[in-house]
Amino acid sequence: MSDPFDDFPGFEPAAPRAGGGIAACALAAMHGGAPDFLSALNPEQRAAVETTEGPVLVLAGAGTGKTRVLTARIAHILAQGLARPHQILAVTFTNKAAREMRERIGALIGGEAEGMAWLGTFHAISTKILRRHAELAGLKSNFTILDTDDQIRLLKQVLRAENIDEKRWTARTLAFLIDNWKNRGLSPKTVPAGEAGAFANGKGGALYALYQERLKILNAADFGDLLLETLRVFRENPDVLREYQGRFKYLLVDEYQDTNAVQYLWLRLLAQRQAGAANEITPAQKPNLCCVGDDDQSIYGWRGADVDNILRFEKDFPGAKVIRLERNYRSTGHILAAAAHLIAHNRDRLGKTLFTDGEDGEKPEVSGVWDSEEEARVIGEEIEQLQRKGHSLDQVAILVRASFQMREFEERFITLGLPYKVIGGPRFYERLEIRDALAYLRCTAQPADDLAFERIVNTPKRGLGEASLQIVHDHARRQRIPLMQAARILIETEELKPKQRSTFRALLSDFDRWASQIGQKPHHELAEQILEESGYTDFWKQDKSAEAEGRLENLKELVRSMEEFPDLGAFLEHVSLVMDADAADGGERVSIMTLHGAKGLEFETVFLPGWEEGLFPHQRSLDENGRAGLEEERRLAYVGVTRARRRAKIYFATNRRIHGLWQTTTPSRFLDDLPAAHVQVTENRASGSGYGAYAQSRFANMDAFGSRYDTPGWKRAQQNGPGGRAPRTIEGEVLGKSSPGSAFSPGDRVFHLKFGPGAVAAVDGSKLTIDFDKAGRKLVLDSFVEKKSS
DNA sequence: TTTAGAGGTATTTTT
DNA sequence: TACCTCTAAA
């Protein structure tokens, strides 16, 4: 967010300013000639832009000009004088999307886009609202926003205080649970009893409540709170809600298929414009709500996104207009046909069929390779060939299902000298050194920030270990004061050892000195000084490991990036919401990223490796979510294929190393979902074992889900593995030896390297519940146990 | 307080 | 296999 601290613009519409882009556009409209941004649209897009009143759902297929519609719609609303910039609420999921939208609106209508104070992510907008009304949520308006790391540290404290065995019940698991509840709009009070009891023998709900209490004491909110607490403020304070309902004349939501329950509720409340007391939308008060999305590209279900939100839109908002954008401007005919055929296998969808007037182009190509190493080699060769033909590497991407697949490509490309970039690697602000540096800044600017203080109190090592910190902790807890304040008191007593006492004293006086300079000298210079004087820079300078240099470089980059912000506070706000920094990149590079990361992007040529059962669709998705999981995986495949403009190349390997073990794999069932007429199957020399004929595989005529992944081949692939490393021989041996269908079944006697002998109690895919003779009941993977013939 | 080794685990990721 | 986290010993 670019303007976290700006003031609320007044409610009264500002007088139109002369000379701006708006006036010019409006003028053009009046004279009959539509402004450029309208005339460039096709009829459906234009309808989506011009249907400004009432609820509208725009189902925008991949590559149909979704962003163009959204931005044109906003430009249109402004140009028509239907609303002022600050009366439009435009919500996105990522900062990147928000930034892009702002830029594109700016390009259409000029500087007026600057006035769009309410264009941002759900989280950024919620933060803005929550800061305004913090006291209604039990916070102060300068509350800190905790990231996942802080959150887990805090949860650990809660668990420890409650004497809960952290091995059995990890903070991570609890964080996951709480996040889940928050995503669904549940407060500690409203968590269903059954679920609350699922953690730590029934303490889940209580722990959630305790955690929330701790957050309030710390004057902090986690990401989930930003939405949930705002929702609470709205619900408990009708006057506040009404204020915002009245303010937003037009609401727009991007990627609506990705909304979760809280976001939906949040939106729904805001959309009920001055509705009466009841939760009803009377016809006269239909909200001017425009949601844009694509149910076929919903790939974040595991994160709480609820496809139902988009599937239900017409019921939720009676009288809604649904506009389908199906004309694709991105891909050639064969690619589109392949993608359409693939996604048609999903049941839960609203149904769209993309088409293009363009040429058919090249058919997507499917090739089998022996293993992942060959996969990387073949793809590397293909890319070099493209390069020789003059294709830009910027237009080439490799989209993988899981990030471990990236490594093989990186290694191959390094030996080839092929420039590449990995997108979606570790984020700038999540790096260790950056988080440490930020903790120093947070402590300086917000002395009550306990989590930041804890983080750096002994970084670099200064002899303030767990023992002395515990003393400070105890005191802080007893007095209900922040850690730093507690330390301040304790250094005047005998409770700490003399050495630690003087170290604390020195550290605190450092912070005092730095704090006194806030506002006195430019904040980026202050930051540099803090890092220098605290010994943090030296700490890395002395580190001789390979990364140290890069880390110092990152610290410099951090200081540099601070210059763009007006003050320290603004910078910290930016960081907590935008865990993202633009990396400048020079030169053309092949992009390597996950399928998830590729959503919204497009490339001339797309390589899609790893289309094998177990990896894609991912076994875990299948195990945990059954058909819904499979359909989400298929949507992911659809997203992958539709990223390609001209060339899509799909690969499956016969052997893949998973967790260090070689496994024989089965080609992905998604290959069977591709239409033969639009796909080119390449018989690769390496796929010798006849997998090239997958098109007529046993899956082809099966319609019942469920029977598909317990076929003999699949089971064999699952069992394969222990006992060797040379893939080629393993393949022969295992295929020869193992009798098909020899999966574990309840009652089998087994032997586990660590737990010893036991009996299988239950089988769940590759997961076995085993009653061990000595170690008791455990859940283990079948690849870790050996079957004993009894 | 630090560090070496054991143990456990193993998608996807934004805010 | 490979990584990360936590525990036990110096």
Which pLDDT value is given to residue A133? 96
A127, A610 in Cβ contact below 8 A?
A: no
Nucleotide nearest to A625 (CA to C1'): B11
Taking 90 as the threshold, does the pLDDT of residue A513 lie above it? yes
CA distance A309 to A728: 49
A273, A285 in Cβ contact below 8 A?
A: yes
Gap from A497 CA to B4 C1', in Å? 28
Gap from A435 CA to B2 C1', in Å? 22
Gap from A288 CA to B7 C1', in Å? 56
Which pLDDT value is given to residue A414? 87
For chain A, what is the largest distance between any 2 Cα atoms, rounded to a whole number of angstroms? 90
Q: State the pLDDT confidence band at A774, using cuts at 50, 70 and 90.
A: low
Domain A145-218 listed as CATH 3.40.50.2300:
no
Residue A168 host element (H or E)? none
Q: State the pLDDT confidence band at A583, using cuts at 50, 70 and 90.
A: low
| pLDDT tens readout for residues A595-631 | 999 999 999 999 999 999 999 999 999 998 899 999 9
CA distance A673 to A48: 32
**A 366-385, residues with C-beta < 7 Å of strand B:** none
Alpha carbon A253 to its chain centroid, in Å, reads: 17
Gap from A765 CA to B3 C1', in Å? 40
Decide: CB of A303 under 7 A of nucleic strand B.
Answer: yes
Question: Considering the domain A729-788, what is its CATH architecture?
Answer: Roll (2.30)
Q: State the pLDDT confidence band at A498, using cuts at 50, 70 and 90.
A: confident
Gap from A277 CA to C4 C1', in Å? 53
Q: Which fold has domain A333-414+592-719?
A: Rossmann fold (3.40.50)
A614 is in an annotated binding site: no
Q: State the pLDDT confidence band at A750, using cuts at 50, 70 and 90.
A: confident
| pLDDT tens readout for residues A384-437 | 999 999 999 999 999 999 999 999 999 899 889 999 988 887 778 888 888 889
Gap from A461 CA to C10 C1', in Å? 18
Nucleotide nearest to A660 (CA to C1'): C1
- The residue whose CA lies nearest the C1' of nucleotide B9 is A659
Residues in chain A: 790
| pLDDT tens readout for residues A217-227 | 889 999 999 99
Starting at the edge strand found earlier in the chain, the sheet holding A785-787 runs A776-781, A767-772, A756-764, A749-752, A785-787
| For range A678-696, the mean pLDDT | 56
Nucleotide nearest to A576 (CA to C1'): B15
Q: Domain boundaries in chain A? A: 34-131+229-325, 145-218, 333-414+592-719, 429-577, 729-788
Decide: CB of A123 under 7 A of nucleic strand B.
Answer: yes
> What's the DSSP call for residue A498?
H
The single residue listed with the structure tokens 């021989």 is: A729
CA distance A342 to A638: 7
Q: State the pLDDT confidence band at A691, using cuts at 50, 70 and 90.
A: very low
Q: State the pLDDT confidence band at A34, using cuts at 50, 70 and 90.
A: low
Q: Which of A68-82, A170-184, A261-275 has the lowest mean pLDDT?
A: A261-275
Q: Which of A374-383, A432-441, A715-724 has the lowest mean pLDDT?
A: A715-724
Q: Which of A157-171, A335-349, A528-542, A599-613 has the lowest mean pLDDT?
A: A157-171
Decide: CB of A427 under 7 A of nucleic strand B.
Answer: yes
Greater confidence (A728 vs A22) lies with A22
Question: Considering the domain A34-131+229-325, what is its CATH architecture?
Answer: 3-Layer(aba) Sandwich (3.40)
Q: Which residues pair with A260 in a beta bridge?
A: A305
Q: What is the pTM of this model?
A: 0.79
Which pLDDT value is given to residue A683? 63
Contacts of A707 (CB under 8 A, 6+ apart): none
| pLDDT tens readout for residues A95-130 | 989 999 999 999 888 877 788 999 999 999 999 999
Decide: CB of A318 under 7 A of nucleic strand B.
Answer: no
Q: How many CB atoms lie within 10 A of CB A313?
A: 21
A65 is in an annotated binding site: yes
- SS3 of A686-709: the string is HHCCCHHHHHHCCCCCCCCCCCHH
- The residue whose CA lies nearest the C1' of nucleotide B7 is A754
Taking 90 as the threshold, does the pLDDT of residue A499 lie above it? no
CA distance A659 to A702: 31
Gap from A761 CA to B10 C1', in Å? 23
| pLDDT tens readout for residues A78-95 | 999 999 999 999 999 999
- Are A34-131+229-325 and A333-414+592-719 the same fold in CATH? yes
A64 is in an annotated binding site: yes
Taking 80 as the threshold, does the pLDDT of residue A671 lie above it? yes
- Identify residue A484 by its one-letter amino acid code: M
Percent of chain A with pLDDT over 70: 82
A646, A602 in Cβ contact below 8 A?
A: no
Which pLDDT value is given to residue A221? 94
A61 is in an annotated binding site: yes
Q: How many CB atoms lie within 10 A of CB A204?
A: 24
What tokens appear for A28 in the block? 């053009």
Taking 90 as the threshold, does the pLDDT of residue A701 lie above it? no
- The residue whose CA lies nearest the C1' of nucleotide B14 is A94
Greater confidence (A433 vs A781) lies with A433
> What's the DSSP call for residue A756?
E
The single residue listed with the structure tokens 């939106």 is: A267
Nucleotide nearest to A171 (CA to C1'): C5
Protein-contacted positions of strand B (CB under 7 Å): 1-2, 8, 10-15
Decide: CB of A124 under 7 A of nucleic strand B.
Answer: yes
Which pLDDT value is given to residue A19? 37
Gap from A363 CA to C3 C1', in Å? 40
What is the Cα gyration radius of chain A? 29
Which pLDDT value is given to residue A338? 95
CA distance A621 to A615: 10
Gap from A784 CA to C4 C1', in Å? 20
Taking 80 as the threshold, does the pLDDT of residue A699 lie above it? no
Taking 80 as the threshold, does the pLDDT of residue A538 lie above it? yes
| pLDDT tens readout for residues A276-288 | 444 444 445 789 9
Residue numbers of A annotated as active site: 66-67, 254-255, 297, 643
| For range A453-466, the mean pLDDT | 85
Gap from A403 CA to B11 C1', in Å? 8
Query: For the structural domain made of A429-577, what CATH number should be given?
Result: 1.10.486.10
A376, A411 in Cβ contact below 8 A?
A: yes
DSSP A214-237: HHHHHTEEEHHHHHHHHHHHHHH-
Strand C proximity list, CB < 7 Å: A 166-167, 659-660
Nucleotide nearest to A657 (CA to C1'): C1
Nucleotide nearest to A622 (CA to C1'): B11
Greater confidence (A438 vs A747) lies with A438
Distances (CA, A) of A305 to A125, A184, A391: 19, 9, 37
Decide: CB of A407 under 7 A of nucleic strand B.
Answer: no
A356 is in an annotated binding site: no
| pLDDT tens readout for residues A40-80 | 899 999 999 999 999 999 999 999 999 999 999 999 999 99
Nucleotide nearest to A597 (CA to C1'): B13
Which pLDDT value is given to residue A770? 73
- Identify residue A81 by its one-letter amino acid code: G
Among candidates A314, A280, A581, which has minimal Cα distance to A428? A581
In our burial notation (b when 16+ CB lie closer than 10 A, e otherwise), range A663-702 reads bbbbbbbbbbbbbeebbebbebebbeeebbebeebebeee
CA distance A97 to A104: 10
Taking 90 as the threshold, does the pLDDT of residue A633 lie above it? yes
The single residue listed with the structure tokens 């200081």 is: A559
A306, A260 in Cβ contact below 8 A?
A: yes
Protein-contacted positions of strand C (CB under 7 Å): 1-2, 6-7
CA distance A644 to A604: 6
A363 is in an annotated binding site: no
Nucleotide nearest to A170 (CA to C1'): C5
Taking 90 as the threshold, does the pLDDT of residue A764 lie above it? no
